[in-house]
Amino acid sequence: MVSQPDLSVNIGGLKIKNPVITASGTFGYGNELIPFYDPSLLGVIIVKGLSIQPMPGNPPPRIIETPCGLLNAIGLANIGIETFIEEKLPSLVKIKTPIITNIYGHSIKEYAEMAKRIESVDRIAAIEINISCPNVEKGGMAFGTDPDAAARVTDQVVKNTTKPVIVKLTPNVTDVSIIAKAVESAGAQAISVTNTFLGMAVDVATRQPKLTNIIGGLSGPAIKPMALYLVHKVVTNVKIPVIGVGGIMDYQDALEFIIVGASAIQVGTANFINPKTAIDIVRDLTDYCLKEKVSNINQIIGSLKTNGENYEKSGDKKNK
Ligand SMILES: Cc1cc2nc3c(=O)[nH]c(=O)nc-3n(C[C@H](O)[C@H](O)[C@H](O)COP(=O)(O)O)c2cc1C
């Protein structure tokens, strides 16, 4: 009998059975898909970004399709942490997959309060800090574009929890490795790369922006090469595990991120096309490992073959 490959990976102290994670905001609160398939097959479920108070989000239209992508300005509409814990979490108890909450605050104090509240909830395995939302007026990306602010938010969350802390970065900066290093130094155990890229679209008939919020965040296959590049840049400059996210539609996309150095990957926009994408990727990664005789997926993490040069290491001037 052929033995099954070991797909388990470690992300910042959290051991997960496979590297496939559903991205925040694209998989609801984790329970919506229970009637369609068994979410226990997933490595991790990351739920929609939560805040202390419920948030209505931005007025519609707040999501539109673009060629090979999706532009959204949801504005972090969510039910709030208390309602999530009371009403949604109980239905997730039977799922044998870790739940990670993605958190958002209007101030550093609010991020710290969220961490404190989550600390007592055993079912939540780790915290992903969203310092990268482009669609909210206060907080969000403002923290993710400034290395000092990013470090302060990370520090306050880390100090208020014993759970692994993952920081999700924005691509909307000049050098993502500066922010990555800042949050690593502040105690982050892992980094997710990346959130959406700023974008906009105009209706030429009305000459109005297609999104009420005017600007939104671009996701989907359109961003994959850029997300891959950012993962390459971050893994080159930090020691903590990196989770790759951006435009992953199938197992080959997932493998690209893993080969570049991501310890795990997240599936986002693809869920809106086929909600089974993530479990298809788990199945196809298993088949790939069997076919290629890879007994443990860790063997291919960071196995990118280059000419030995790495121009993305900070301080390396060769790329000038
Ligand atoms: C509709 C929508 C809502 C999202 N909501 C969140 C959120 O609440 N928190 C967060 O950190 N990222 C959020 N994201 C970003 C995704 O988690 C992911 O980082 C991004 O879409 C890139 O991955 P993808 O190309 O696979 O979708 C959202 C994305 C979309 C499309």
Percent of the chain's residues with pLDDT above 70: 94
pLDDT of residue 134: 67
pLDDT at 155 over 90: yes
pLDDT in tens, 44-72: 999 999 999 999 999 999 999 999 999 99
Which residue has the CA at smallest separation from atom 8 of ligand 1?
49
Tell me how far apart the alpha carbons of residues 85 and 173 are, in angstroms, rounded to a whole number. 34
pLDDT of residue 291: 97
The mean pLDDT value for 108-137 works out to 90
* CA 73 – ligand 1 centroid, Å: 10
More confident residue, 1 or 208: 208
Residue 4 included in any domain? no
pLDDT of residue 320: 40
**Which residue among 26, 70, 153, 234 is best mutated to probe the pocket of ligand 1, counting the most ligand atoms within 8 A of its Cβ?**
26
Residue 68 is a catalytic residue: no
pLDDT at 316 over 70: no
Residue 9's pLDDT band, with cuts at 50, 70 and 90, is: very high
Residue 285's pLDDT band, with cuts at 50, 70 and 90, is: very high
pLDDT of residue 140: 66
Residue 3 included in any domain? no
Residue 317's pLDDT band, with cuts at 50, 70 and 90, is: very low
More confident residue, 142 or 77: 77
Q: How many domains does the chain have?
A: 1
Residue 1 included in any domain? no
In this structure, what token pair is assigned to residue 207? 């000459």
pLDDT of residue 187: 98
Give the atom of ligand 1 at the shortest distance from the alpha carbon of 267: 26
pLDDT of residue 136: 61
Percent of the chain's residues with pLDDT above 90: 85
Cβ density class 235-268: b for 16+ within 10 Å, e for less: bbbbebbbbbbbbbbebebbbbbbebbbbbbbbb
Residue 158 included in any domain? yes
pLDDT of residue 32: 82
pLDDT of residue 121: 97
Tell me how far apart the alpha carbons of residues 247 and 250 are, in angstroms, rounded to a whole number. 9
pLDDT at 22 over 50: yes
Question: Which residue segment(s) compose the domain that 68 sits in?
Answer: 9-319
The mean pLDDT value for 249-264 works out to 98
Contacts of range 300-307, beta carbons closer than 8 Å, 24 or more positions apart:
300/255, 300/258, 300/259, 301/9, 301/258, 301/259, 301/261, 301/262, 301/263, 302/235, 302/259, 302/260, 302/261, 303/259, 304/232, 304/259, 304/260, 304/261
* CA 100 – ligand 1 centroid, Å: 14
CATH no. for residue 26? 3.20.20.70
pLDDT at 319 over 50: no
pLDDT of residue 307: 80
25 lines ligand 1 (CB under 6 A): yes
The mean pLDDT value for 280-284 works out to 98
168 lines ligand 1 (CB under 6 A): yes
Residue 2 included in any domain? no
Catalytic residue among 103, 133, 176, 188: 133
pLDDT of residue 135: 62
Which residues on neighbouring strands pair with residue 243, listed in sequence order? Answer: 192, 264
